[in-house]
Amino acid sequence: MDEVASVIPNRYRKLHTTRSWEFIGLPATAKRRLKGESNIIVGVFDTGVTPQSKSFKDDGLGPPPAKWKGSCHHFANFSGCNNKIIGARYFKLDKVPDPNDIMSPIDVHGHGTHTSSTLAGSMVPDASLFGLARGTARGAVPSSRVAMYKVCWATSGCSDIDILAAFEAAIIDGVDVISISIGGLTGGYTTDVISVGAFHAMRKGILTVASAGNDGPNLNTVANHAPWVLTVAASGIDREFRSKVLLGNGRTVSGIGVNAFDPKQKLYPLAMGVDTAKSSDTRESSRYCSEGSMDPRKVKGKLVYCQLGSWGVDSVVKELGGIGTIIESDQFLDSAPIFMAPATIVNSSIGKSMNSYMHSDRLPSAVIYKSQEVKIKAPFIASFSSRGPNPGTKHLLKPDIAAPGIDILASYTPMKSLTGLKGDTQYSEFTLMSGTSMSCPHVGGAAAYVKSFHPDWSPSAIKSAIMTTARSMSSKVDREAEFAYGAGQVNPMKARSPGLVYDMDDMAYIQFLCHEGYNSSSVSSLLRQQVNCSTLIPATGEDAINYPTMQLGLKSDQEPTIGIFRRRVTNVGQAKSVYNATIRAPKGVDITVQPMTLSFTRPMQKRSFKVVVKAKPLSNAIILSGSLTWKSSRHIVRSPIVIYDPKMNFRNCMFLLACTVSVISSTLAEQDIYVVHMDKTKVRSLDSNLGISKRWYEDVISSISADDSEEEQEEKPPQLLYVYEKSISGFSAKLSKKQLESLKQVDGFLTAVADEMLSLHTTHSPQFLGLKSGRGLWSGPNLTSDVIVGVIDTGIWPEHVSFHDSGMPPVPSRWKGKCEAGTKFAPSNCNRKIIGARIFPKGYEAAAGKINEKEDYRSPRDSQGHGTHTASTAAGNLVNGANLFGLAKGLAGGMSYGSRIAVYKACFMLGCSSSDVLAAIDQAVIDGVDVLSLSLGGLPKPFYVDNIAIAAFGAVQHGVFVSCSAGNSGPLNSSVGNAAPWIMTVAASSLDRSFPTTVKLGDGHVFKGASLYTGKPTMQLPLVYGRTAGGEGARFCTNGTLSSRLVKGKIVVCEKGINARAEKGEQVKIAGGAGMIMVNRVDEGDELYADAHVLPATSLGASAGIAIKNYINLTKTATASIRFEGTVYGNRAPIVAAFSSRGPSAAGLDIIKPDVTAPGVDILAAWPPNISPSMLKSDKRSVQFNILSGTSMSCPHVSGLAALLKSVHRDWSPAAIKSALMTTAYTLDKERTPIADAVSETSISATPFVFGSGHVDPERASDPGLIYDISTEDYLHYICRLNYNASQIALLLRENYTCPSHSFQSLGDLNYPSFAVLFDSNNQHLIQTFKRTVTNVGTPRSTYSVQVKTPYGVSVTVKPKILKFQKKGQKLRYKVRFVTRGKRSPGDSTFGSLTWISRTHIVRSPIAITWQ
């Protein structure tokens, strides 16, 4: 593994979603140590918590334990903590608001409330769901404390960076057990974030309990399978919920599900879904009762029989006027879904008889009765529960344990209906949920229960106690045996006193990893200290770990396999005790134990033993099960022993099928999309023999397919998506894990990085920037039409007036691009302005499915507006009288309106696949663009796994200037993306233009807001909010929450969050409201957003929102009016937007990022006429221009300015253009005061970590005096100083590269136009010296003197202090010496500047000092 280095990118994971405690033998009367239990703190990583739930009352609980170091604050909609919930935090490090969630620990999903109450909820008598599952709801440890770490969000899921941050916080806070019902993709044990976080928790004595996943019944799907994690499968308890269905012929059948509705008549007409089709075209989809497929006239008043295609058909049928739904499915029959209308699920055999009845009776009818609770045999493993064998290692049995996870009753959020479906009005304090998400907190609770009795036990000891005391389960019920249930069903009472435990420390796990083949580098990164596997004492035995279970993978199809397992147990039972071994060996397997008796004379005494397993090859079984049990007079300590064949394709073995060596299901192995990086020198040498590179890559793919076909007929062949030749060296493809392993053997392979979905970073600005027609950069000679701007975005609307080609000369002869035909786009849509248009959909479609051409165009045509807006901002024509509803009226034009545009559509409805973006960059370089503009990006990451950084480096090497948006994750520190030094990274700031409103309350108070609505002012109207406007959720004005009776004719106050801003106004309008006041949440401050609302509406800041809500609460007849003031100029500007992502860069503190700021707030630019300005489907308004905000808008400003500079200075390199824009940027606003940061209520000055070098000044940039140029060789030397290993450097450079001995002395020697200086906070009087070279591009004979604004805490010396140039193009060097004065705290930063001044030029560089 040493020759291949790869880093797993940030990923988004998914949630693995009361009689259960009695069923597993932990009744309310169980023995407890209440003092110890109340000292236990359980950390739950989930969707948040509902503090007002009865399950979290703190009656009888004292103050939090003294060891607790966590915190809990009041957040939006979060009432705070108590002595039960003692900590609550949320983690959203990308800072991108979730449209369906709230930036606080509050739970809008319900999942986190359910799991945390299952684990440690207080006792709540008489809990039920509609009377079902009635009883006392409680957690395993009702006296324990709960700390909630919200890492999962309603729309975006659970991000790796948030999960890792939560682990760090929980460890510091002092939790005892972590429960994480989250899963998703898994990596190696040293890179998967849950594995890494759990390892560091384990080192601090914290056990992590995690769900096994919901990808059953497939084998080889278990997740969270690191050896230091307790991995939990889901089992059923002895009840289920059934509904009786009476047919018109008198026959009764039974279905599964929770149906809370009593029928209002004896029978209802019954219709087949397929017979309700609107037309022959929808007949097939109506079989599944799909939305839009059925005729309401054929559905109204009937029960509809549907085959299961997707969840929610009960909502679809109800919306069409149907009475209810009978759903046919052979899946999901062991858990009861909750329905929002009368419904039930029946199996296909019942379905067949119902089908026969409906076709034999002229007027078929039926009725569904309310669900009842029935007794069933249990336990059994849920069909959805993920199975082994462990995909991470053949030596470790996973899952570890099973626990109840089907139809679990626990607390729920009041903020979401029971189903979350449209039209559902069912809300409840408790609900039923199923999933390994539900089984995980059962075992987390068991671990906390054991910990309360044994606070000094290690995580591995607690884990062992739970596993070795588990109740055995039957392979006759679950034929996958231990691959389904691990050691068995959890038994908390027995786990409290296990007798013996298999204990381990962190070094034992390190030895295991080394034995597994992990290299020293990856193990060191996990441990966070240097480890050399070759010098460690190797662990012995087949699996090299002291695990409570044993798993032997067969090594031969012909000969017996022998495995020797070495184990050591610790006596935690009676001081003097004797244990005798009992062996259960399956047929064809011999198991021996030496010694057969273990004698102990004192507590904590350790004894070792050896287990020898000899197994013949398997004939027709998935798994053979044996066991070793140690028995004393008081204790039974059982360890399963599993034998299997790791060469079998377990991914293809389906639940309840006889999976044998010779019979394999047709299920295909899962494939993922990878960007594969190859050594370009190897590719070149092979190209000379094979021809063009695409043919060589196709040969590589074909060879992998051939390897697969020899072993396995059913492997889906790899799919080649793109070949990259210019920007990077490699290709993207859809590959299975096995195919990827084969690919790693190919000569020239460097690494493969999983594809990721990037997000878009969503006119007076030329005048604001100082560009004037006929002068300076906008004079005729400088508006050369030979410069080509490539825009990678959502496409373009080619007919727009901004892209007409009137008066433009022929296309430059060097241009190699073309216009691709597609949906509603022909080559003739290009012209002399838009000279190229291509689409790159392969990666997106491989990940998200075929593009829905009803919503998007499978062509370069823009269906979202974003690409049209950015392209026109960069290089759109001058258009007189441009406006939006009369607002911002004036001359609209791109920064470089004479340039040509080349469009590369790589972004679609769900985002931008990085493999598509890479292909677009690569093609743009081949086509011959001069500037690339990318208003998109992902999370910060190291450059060698940042596909945009790698591709941009290749583009820059070919002389292409690359401009990228910084991201919209502000004001979070270190959120800036696209931070490679060869990329121009652009922050967003405001113009001096605004669209103000005035809100006047009935008590005379007046507040200023913002809106793009242009109608008449409202009268003084009644004002409503929250419960005075509707039901639960009305304060967010979400779909269906507002009451027409309460809202009609009134102004509604809506809080931001959950749904889109303009959508709130739509909901108010639907309910009959006369206006809307949208207020920021507290954490969003007072920055205002202007939106094109569909009714009189305005946004207000958080402080105004608080005042208005107080006014409503204290006044019986609250009123308000809204006045719209049009367009106002002359505001203080620029001010950096709060949403603009900030530094310091997480990818590297050695470069100040962002580089500059540019206009990005309320930008007017071109817009497709078929997309409304609010982007709501109900909004039928058509506009030619629209106003948007985001770093997506600031980026094309700089892209266009770079094109302007390129037209003036054709010989300048990308680094020279970048330097000119940075060193001439200004830091004082129009009022000559420092540029402010909108995130501060006091408008404090923005720092270089907020705006880089300052605000762009294009006219000055055209004549900068001096430039800091950077060659490819300079970047190579910089990369060599980044402490990347050889393979990581090869990724960036696309070939193996040996760093020269004369490389930079420090990272600070890169000839960058700014200075980022890092010091160790633990030392005083440190010295760093930076070297720089400037090139004279101004007056040939000129003298520059240095002026330093010294940052606090250092002294700065520049040598020489004067630079004298004799000619243009002359280069002079200087050194800057930074010396610390005293110690500073880690994380402190101070700022200053270094400026070279001549008689005609000022060349400024910011300085940022950071103490680490």
**Active-site annotation holder among 94, 543, 793, 1162:** 793
Structure tokens at 1293: 């450079």
Q: Are strands 931-934 and 961-965 parallel, antiparallel or unpaired?
A: parallel
DSSP codes of every residue in 803-832? G--TT--PPPTT----B--BTTB-GGG--S
The yes-or-no answer on residue 1309 being catalytic is no
| For the chain, counts of helices (H) and of strands (E) | 32, 71
Helix (H) or strand (E) holding 34: helix 34-38
Between the two ends of the chain, the Cα-to-Cα distance in Å is 32
Phi, psi of 1346 (to 5 degrees): -90, 145
- Cβ-based neighbour number of residue 557 at 10 Å: 10
Q: Where are the beta strands (DSSP E) in 347-455?
A: 365-368, 372-375, 401-404, 408-411, 430-433
Helix (H) or strand (E) holding 1192: helix 1191-1208
The span from the CA of 1111 to the CA of 1092, in Å, is 27
How far from 1079 is each of 155, 229, 1055, 1064, 1098, CA to CA, in Å?
21, 43, 5, 11, 9
The span from the CA of 1199 to the CA of 876, in Å, is 12
**Active-site annotation holder among 1192, 1253, 1389, 1398:** 1192
The span from the CA of 104 to the CA of 91, in Å, is 9
How far from 698 is each of 730, 754, 1364, CA to CA, in Å?
12, 20, 57
How far from 831 is each of 807, 813, 1289, CA to CA, in Å?
11, 14, 42
Q: Where are the beta strands (DSSP E) in 444-499?
A: none
The yes-or-no answer on residue 635 being catalytic is no
How far from 36 is each of 26, 141, 445, 977, 1111, CA to CA, in Å?
17, 10, 14, 46, 47
Structure tokens at 1051: 């102004």
**Active-site annotation holder among 20, 46, 761, 1342:** 46
Structure tokens at 642: 């599993």
Find, among 163, 146, 148, the residue nearest to 48 by Cα.
148
The span from the CA of 1194 to the CA of 1188, in Å, is 10
Q: Are strands 324-328 and 303-307 parallel, antiparallel or unpaired?
A: parallel
- Cβ-based neighbour number of residue 584 at 10 Å: 14
The yes-or-no answer on residue 437 being catalytic is yes
Partner residues linked to 986 by β-bridges: 965, 1156
The yes-or-no answer on residue 503 being catalytic is no
The yes-or-no answer on residue 1199 being catalytic is no
Structure tokens at 1274: 């300079």
Phi, psi of 125 (to 5 degrees): -70, 155
The span from the CA of 1189 to the CA of 869, in Å, is 11
In single-letter form, the type of residue at position 974 comes to S
In single-letter form, the type of residue at position 581 comes to A
CB 588 within 8 A of CB 643: no
CB 765 within 8 A of CB 1195: no
The full length of the chain comes to: 1412
CB 215 within 8 A of CB 184: no
Q: Which residue has the tokens 């940022």?
A: 1408
Structure tokens at 220: 């080889």
In single-letter form, the type of residue at position 977 comes to G
**Active-site annotation holder among 55, 235, 243, 437:** 437
In single-letter form, the type of residue at position 52 comes to Q
The span from the CA of 862 to the CA of 1167, in Å, is 9
Structure tokens at 1202: 């770079």
**Active-site annotation holder among 111, 442, 515, 1401:** 111
Find, among 432, 202, 423, 247, the residue nearest to 338 by Cα.
432
Find, among 317, 310, 260, 213, the residue nearest to 431 by Cα.
260
The yes-or-no answer on residue 181 being catalytic is no
Q: Which residues of 911-947 are buried (b: 16+ CB within 10 A; e: fewer)?
A: bbbbbbbbbbbbbbbebbbbbbbbbbbbbbbbbbbbb
Active site amino acids: 46, 111, 437, 793, 866, 1192
